[in-house]
Amino acid sequence: MLQATGDGLSVAAAVLLGLIEGVTEWLPISSTGHLAVTQELLGIDGDAADSYAIAIQAGAILAVLGLYRARFVSIVDGIRGGDPEGRRLLVALFVASLPAAVTGLLFEDLIKSRLFGIGPVVAAWFVGGVAILLVARRRRDVAPDAGELLASLTWRGALVIGLAQVLALWPGVSRSLVTILAATAVGLAVPAAVEFSFLLGFVVLGGATAYETVSSGTTMVAAYGYGTPLLGLVVAFVASLVAMRWMVAYLNRRGLGVFGWYRIGIALVAGTLLATGTI
């Protein structure tokens, strides 16, 4: 029922992948890794499946637009010259998005050929989990809201975050993870770091989704039509809204440690499945 057939992608599989994308995209646990393992378990592979996994990110992107519409209004006002804070945020987002965008375009084939596999994902999950636990231990006595507001982020700090985000081109690392950790390293409070991660994801994922739609969208439509991709997009949108609201509320009270333990746990599970030939 869940598997793709010669006729396309089943509704159940489309919903499951959309749910996984929506829940994991904004948490520091890697949506790419979860989708890759799920596709292996369901026997869904090929160019169309890879394009689908990227296309449904549009749902997650729209969720950011819905939750942070005031920020986007501020950015638009900044472009018009009426909101200096919005203009500074736009500059920070532009600078932070450049390193990963340039690196991805230059090394796209190398990244896909060497890093898009379950083995690299498992390694990234585990290492990222350990990194989170180390950071959580260092910040154990630090209040979640200790640090600067998003308005204080300079273009230099944004560049540091952008350079760190290059690491997320390795599937399993998690763009959210490196963005949040780098943002706190340059002085932002955890809530501000999370918000910047969401906004930066809107820019980065928007570009990646648009690029994939133009380059491989016809392959996906030919294999799956329009209905199941749109269904997956809607599911990803709703799941993202819930996941982002939960994450903001949780991190305002607690630290990142739970995500570190989760990453290590999922790495052990996926590693076992890989070692036994299940995936």
Position 223 pLDDT exceeds 90: no
Secondary structure of the chain in HEC code, one letter for each residue: CCCCECCECCHHHHHHHHHHHHHHCCCCCCHHHHHHHHHHHHCCCCHHHHHHHHHCHHHHHHHHHHHCHHHHHHHHHHHCCCCHHHHHHHHHHHHHHHHHHHHHHHCHHHHHHHHCCHHHHHHHHHHHHHHHHHHHHHCCCCCCCCCECHHHCCHHHHHHHHHHHHHHHCCCCCHHHHHHHHHHHCCECHHHHHHHHHHHHHHHHHHHHHHHHHHHHHHHHHHHCCHHHHHHHHHHHHHHHHHHHHHHHHHCCCCCHHHHHHHHHHHHHHHHHHHCCCC
pTM: 0.88
pLDDT at residue 234 in the model: 96
Q: For position 145, what pLDDT does the model report?
A: 76
Does 64 have pLDDT greater than 60? Answer: yes
pLDDT single digits (tens) 243-268: 999 998 898 888 889 999 999 999 99
Using pLDDT thresholds of 50, 70 and 90, give the confidence band for residue 2: low
- Residue 72, pLDDT score: 94
pLDDT tens digits for 117-168? 899 999 999 999 999 999 888 887 777 778 899 999 999 999 999 999 999 9
pLDDT given at position 207: 84
Query: Mean pLDDT for the chain?
Result: 90
